[in-house]
Amino acid sequence: MRLLSMALRNLRGYALRSFLTTLGVVFGVASVITMLAIGAGAEQALLDEIGRLGIGNIILNTVKPPEATQDKGGGGGGWVHEYGLNYKDLAMIRNTVPGVGRALPVHRRNPRVWHKSRKVDATAYAVKPDHLKLFGYEVVRGRPLTHLDEASLRQVCLVRSGLIQQLKSFQDPLGMDLLINGLWYRIVGVLKDDAFRGYAASALGINSKTKEIYVPYRTEIAKRGTREHRRRQGSFEATDVKLHQIVIEVENPDEVVKVAQMVRRVLTKNHDDEDWKMVVPLEVLRQRRKTQQVFTYAMVAIASISLLVGGIGIANIMLATVTERTREIGIRRALGAKRRHIVAQFLTETTVLSTLGGILGVAVSFGLISLMQNFTGWDAIVKPISIVLALTISMGTGIVFGIFPARRAAMLDPIAALRHE
């Protein structure tokens, strides 16, 4: 305690110098904490983004093969490209793979959507009612899709609230009719405008530029079929993709990886072409997190260099201080201070200095982080452990870089020190 108050007094005696000396530690600690906070924030964002896909889910997507070799003769004198996931896959996954809870089909269409005379950019997803629950879609107005909608082939749909703005209609959107590929669908519910971002969107085959419309799966398939015609280079081109997506819910989330392997085996047997792709959110999350952590550690390591420089700054100034206070050291030695007392005195001073710097650095980091969040909108989370870590390191810096000057002070010859001018 006496050592501590003595150190504080000495530091106060040279307030400006002490402050400048510790500045290196202040910024070192501030940058370390900021980097850790950015890392933690990015990790949380990742968790939010990919976590929305559900870590207990497996998502299968149809992809267009490089060459659609399975051309089969279709109607109308054209060719029909048939590829992708099909009903056989769905049935086999449902019936042969153990551990599979629900397996939900999704059919996607890029439709021409009309409301009165206005054309809307949208993608229609024919989904099972459970699909919306599984991914936590939030209905802000109206009602969700129901099994009854499916059973009675109702022509109803859910839209993103962003789509309503595009309609530029001042009417109540509920009950509005949309002409989707020649079929009338009535809006029964509006979804919250929290579209999937980044990786999650691409994994679900959602194009963030177009708005989503969700229609009952059976209605769409029964009334429109799965074939799609497109005019291209003067001729018609037909494609037939039975299923664009299969979402598998694994009963026990711990078995996701095992189930994924079995599903993969089934699909590899069914498909000659690489016309499907599997996304396992859990694996993606793990992988991304690992990358993120490596990045964070690298940034923290770089930030630590400034902490090191701060420590060297402290050592440097303390060496100067020792020279300046040689006389005092001599007096103290003459009055009975042992070498270790002198070491303790100077070591306490550097440690107090660097710890104060660390505390100040924590404060600065909070300022830095809030400033950064204002300007960049990055997520940053300051974990208590990172503060503890930074303070411990700054204290350690004081001890490590204080030892040399302190030992130097203690090894001074008391007689010479007393004579020192």
As measured in angstroms, the least distance from the Cβ of 291 to other proteins is: 53
Nearer to other proteins, 371 or 411 (CB): 411
Contact yes or no for 54/337 (Cβ under 8 A): no
Q: Rank residues 234 and 421 by Cβ distance to other proteins and give the closer one.
A: 421
* Alpha-carbon Rg for the chain in angstroms: 34
Task: Output 12 or 231, the one with its CB closest to other proteins.
Answer: 12
Nearer to other proteins, 38 or 406 (CB): 406
Closest distance of CB 336 from other proteins, Å: 2
Measure the CA–CA gap between 340 and 346, rounded to whole angstroms: 10
Q: At its nearest, how many Å lie between other proteins and the CB of residue 4?
A: 13
Q: Please list, in sequence order, all residues whose beta carbon lies within 8 angstroms of the beta carbon of residue 244, skipping any fewer than 6 positions away.
A: 61, 62, 84, 85, 106, 107, 108, 205
Please, what is the minimum distance in Å from the beta carbon of residue 331 to other proteins?
Answer: 5
User: Half-sphere exposure of 175 toward its Cβ, with a 13 Å CA cutoff?
Assistant: 3
Question: In Å, how far are 95, 121, 139 from 109, measured between CA atoms?
Answer: 27, 12, 22
Rounded least distance, CB 314 to other proteins, Å: 19
Q: Which residue in 115, 113, 118, 128 sits closest to 213, CA to CA? A: 113
Cα dihedral 253/208/217/167 (nearest 10): 140
Taking the least distance from each CB to other proteins, the nearer of 337 and 403 is: 337
| Shortest Å, Cβ 325 to other proteins | 9
In the bound state with other proteins, the residue whose beta carbon lies nearer, of 334 and 385, is 334
Tell me how far, at minimum, the Cβ of 20 lies from other proteins, in Å. Answer: 19
Q: Which residues bind other proteins (CB under 8 A)?
A: 2, 6, 9-10, 13, 327-328, 330-339, 341, 414-415, 418
Cα separation, 46 vs 386, in Å, equals: 20
**2 vs 231 by CB, closer to other proteins:** 2
